[in-house]
Structure 1
Amino acid sequence: MSSPLPPPHVVFFPFPAQGHVNSMLKLAELMILSLPSDLEIWATFVNTEHNHHRLLQCSDVASRFASHPTFRFKTISDGLPLELPRTEEQLLKMFEYLKLTARDVVREVTVPGTCIIADGFLNFLINAGEETGTPVVMFHAIGACAFWTYFCIPRLIEAGELPIRGNEELNRTITTIPGMEGRLRCRDLPPLWRVANPFDSLLDFGTTQIRDAPKARGLIINTFDALEGPILGHIQAHCHNIYTVGPLNAHLRSRLLATKAASRYFLNSLLEEDRSCLEWLDKQPPRSVVYVSFGSIAVLKGEELMECWHGLLNSKNEIVAELKASTITMDRGCIVDWAPQEEVLAHPAIGGFLTHSGWNSTMESITAGVPMLCWPYFADQHPNSRFVSEFLGVGLDMKDMCDRTIVERMINDLMVDKRDELQSSAAEKVRLAREAVIEGGSSWVNLDSLIEDIRKMTVGKQ
């Protein structure tokens, strides 16, 4: 009589940056919470030594995942000294190191019945999986709009819309991205595309990561059908098995409620959160405060920082700001190094969010119903900010500007002049997001399909 097959083994492999680790951990926990009663999954989360140390220091993952005995962390090097701060400048170095070592890591963690869920920017894991006969599903921490923009780079080059020939072309309209014709400008493309050479190495880097997506067994995106449906339709023409399972933060809480567990916020931070801002917010009137955060990588310096700050102060609004700058002080509002963002956005005192337009922040703001003023920094944040303003109508786009007069005017638009219009649109997106993550909703059904397809992928691989 043959022995029963071991359960499927899922390896989660994020890119080693705050937003990527955070969203991948949410996906891992969401999948574990959502398993059908007849299925057990063993899970390995590959984390760099530096990030894992920070995660244990600053989050509650050790206690949270202790209740899941089939879950384990696997730590690896990112090629940099542990004590060195991880900044934007090191991202490419870490990528190149992981590219060199990924095959050995995959061989080490792969057992019969393994499926790899790889970060969408670690495209080399597709080849590593092929070498070991391991199915690979890609997880993108960016939205469908940004994914499709990246995917269409070769089309833009072929049509002569890239490269961008100088700053005078930044307002030129992009016409050859299907589903987005005439709605993006050159300035809405990622800044690394602002190069004169179509063979530039950074432009090629951005193209390569997304171009390989159709080779994977599936594509997971932290979005929901009602938010980006038309764009998803275009992606489906190139990539099979697309699983839209977001918003991950709202979906997690929905699954917890379905199991009669207490709903909670999920702390996956690599930075220590300062919760004192919540006590300060408790004393403020409803919708009176602007929340300011530029994420874990972007750092405003010098003139840009001061222009932003004076614009905020001149707007006369109360401010809760997440700023890492010793030069900034204020006599109204609250400044912290790192805030519990989901809880801040959910607080009734928050009326608007000045954001760098990272996709996690965008989704968290959408699920909280908070209108955004978008000031993108790099990567997918530029198309995200345009999507928020032009496609969704839940925010204003302030890219490429650092003048205090413009900041003041747009904050006042966000909080006063255009407040009702933006708030109405934001409330509608909250409704759609909630419908997506309840039982029977699109994201709920898609996650169940993902889990079932992983079961099928791993049958016969054991």
Structure 2
Amino acid sequence: MAVPHVFIFPLPLQGPVNCMLKLAELLCLHQEIHVTFINTEYIHQRLLNYTDVLIRFAKYPNFKFVTIPDGLPEDNPRNGEQVGKIIEGVEKVSSPLFREMVMMTTTNYCAPTCLIVDGIFTFAVDIAKDAKIPLLYFDTISPCAIWTYLAVPKLIEDGEIPFKGNDLDALVNSVSGMEGVMRRRDLPSYCRATDLDIPIIQHIIKQGKHIVQAQALILNTFEALEGPILSQFRALCPNIYAIGPLHTQMKAKLASQSLPTSNSLWKEDMSCIDWLNKQPNKSVLFVSIGSLATMSKAQFLEFWYGLVNSKTRFLWVQRPGSIIGLEDDDINVPMELVESTKERGCIVSWAPQEEVLAHPSIGGFLTHCGWNSTLESIAEGVPMICWPYFVDQQVNSRYVGEVWKLGLDMKDVCDRATIERMVIEVMDVKKIEFLERAKQMSNLAIASVGEGGASYQDLERLIEDIRLMRI
């Protein structure tokens, strides 16, 4: 009987790749499970450039990387504005190669017994059916956001999208289980489109039809955080593995390893840790808009003035390419901003985020509210100020502010006065209140991955189910 062999294929973006590499390593800890991780050539090269991923996975003889092209020209920036093209490239160029790999039985490595694929890859359903092997979709965004994706046909049927009129604060009633919570502005960003025939909406509708055809759904969340939404999911897809927070699972399983690991696609500037070591406890606001989001030069200056005017210490990640047009026309930064930043700020091009959020000097996180960032902040007990950029982040920010009460939602606003006010509220006026609430949720996150916790049990069940998928 062949050993179980999992093919893992993430959406080639920082968040999904980071998430699925963590799952791959957790599976590899059980040596009777073999893992093949499919990376696009672009992503793999960046991992080789900026991480120890080859050394780290070399200790697992049951693991191997395979690379395929993503169909995009080398100079494509692959940022948030390019996500549509990335998905299109994967479907046209990568998916036929993935199909070939799945169908091909090699002599030096066992044939795949199951596929773990990003939920946005609708082509995986037919590949799994043709290969007669189980498909497990791993949607690495939040379940609360995925649930709104699945509701898009109902939103269209009920006439809630496209929006009639300009009132973005009108409540939305066609998302089951979210009545009284979601406003128009809190729906995924593509719901603001006036034309329902745009590719992203058509793809979301298609994804909704395909995701329920998988044998199971893997989600990076935990019951104490999203129990009501998970209950809704189980009516559509009974076999759910809620195994998050994945980075907390990793910490628990690899507690003996003292050095932090990284799956970053950018070079991390470790000098920020030295700077944090010199700051008072819970005094620093961490500012990062993640790996895809961008802002205009005007928004960049509003952020900077808001941070400086708040008189709060801050560590700010300014990712290369995140400020549109900055490379072509350097901003003449006012001297008052430069001087104030020298006094109480630190700016880096990229930071080791998990390590930063776990640092005792961090008291808040101004974030784009991507799901990995949100979960990492929750697990470390760090309150948030949410400035969502696109798609699922609008939903996440609403849940952070309104449902989980773990911070403030700053969506659709970018002025220095609002930024200053919200920073002061989180870091000063309501600091104790937010930290206490965040600590409560952090404790629940940590308990979920501890022995006997819900996420711990779901991961064990996933591993056992994969073991039984022998051919």
TM-score higher than 0.5: yes
Q: Distance in 1 between matches of 2:208 and 2:61?
A: 34
For 1:122, the equivalent position in structure 2 comes to 121
Does 2:213 correspond to 1:215?
A: yes
Equivalent position of 1:185 in the other structure: 183
Q: Does 1:320 align with 2:315?
A: yes
> For residue 241 of structure 2, what is the aligned residue in structure 1?
243
**Separation in structure 1 between the aligned mates of residue 66 and residue 447 of structure 2, nearest angstrom:** 35
Residue 43 of structure 1 and its aligned partner are, at CA, apart by 0.8
- Name 1:136's counterpart in structure 2: 135
SS of equivalent to 2:461: helix
Per-residue deviation, 1:304: 1.2
Q: 1:179: how far off? A: 1.4
One-letter amino acid of the structure 2 residue matched with residue 104 of structure 1: L
Residue aligning to 1:331: 342
Letter in 1 for 2:300: L
> Secondary structure of the residue that 1:215 maps to in structure 2?
coil
Match status 1:106 vs 2:96: no
Q: What is the alpha-carbon distance in structure 1 between the residues aligned to residue 127 and residue 180 of structure 2?
A: 39
Equivalent pair of 1:165/1:196 in contact (CA under 8 Å): no
Could you tell me whether the CA contact under 8 Å between 1:165 and 1:195 is conserved in 2?
A: no
Q: Which one of 9, 12, 26 corresponds to residue 22 of structure 2?
A: 26
Alpha-carbon contact 1:366-1:430 (below 8 Å) kept: yes
Match of 2:302 among 307, 318, 327: 307
CA distance in 2, matches of 1:373, 1:285: 20
Residue 377 of structure 1 pairs with residue 412 of structure 2: no
Which of 49, 59, 66 in structure 2 is aligned with 1:74? Answer: 66
Q: How far 1:41 sits from its partner (Å)?
A: 1.3
Q: Distance in 1 between matches of 2:78 and 2:143?
A: 27
Q: How many residue pairs align between the two structures?
A: 447
Q: Which runs of 5+ in 2 are unaligned?
A: 106-110, 324-329
Query: Which TM-score applies when normalising by structure 2?
Result: 0.92
24-33 or 82-91, which deviates more: 82-91
- Structure 2 distance, partners of 1:368, 1:445, is 21
In the aligned structure 1, how far is the partner of 2:181 from the partner of 2:171? 7
SS of aligned partner of 1:81: coil
> Contact between 2:28 and 2:62, CA under 8 Å: does it hold in 1?
no
What is the CA-CA distance between 1:24 and the residue it aligns to?
0.7
The answer as to whether partners of 2:50 and 2:264 remain within 8 angstroms in 1 is yes
Q: Which of 427, 431, 452 is matched with 1:440 structurally?
A: 452
SS at match of 1:149: helix
Shift of 1:402: 0.8
Shift of 1:113: 4.6
**1:266: Cα distance to partner?**
2.6
Q: Is the 8 A contact 2:116 2:135 kept in 1?
A: yes
CA–CA separation in structure 2 for the residues paired with 1:165 and 1:264: 53
Residue pairs, 1:47-86, within 5 angstroms: 47-86=39-78
Match of 1:425 in 2: 437
SS at match of 1:266: coil
**Is the CA contact (8 Å cut-off) linking 2:158 and 2:174 kept in structure 1?**
yes
Contact 1:253 1:263 in 2 (8 A): no
In structure 1, the partner of 2:5 is 9
What is the TM-score normalised by the length of structure 1? 0.94
Residue 108 of structure 2 corresponds to which residue in structure 1? Answer: none
Q: Using a 3 Å threshold, how does the CA distance of structure 1 residues 52 and 113 change in structure 2: closer, same or farther?
A: closer
- Where 1:173 maps in the other structure, the secondary structure is coil
* Displacement of 1:83: 4.4
Deviation at 1:195, TM superposition (A): 1.7
SS of 2:241 mapped into structure 1: strand
Counterpart pick for 2:86 among 90, 94, 101 = 94
* RMSD between superposed Cα atoms in Å: 1.5
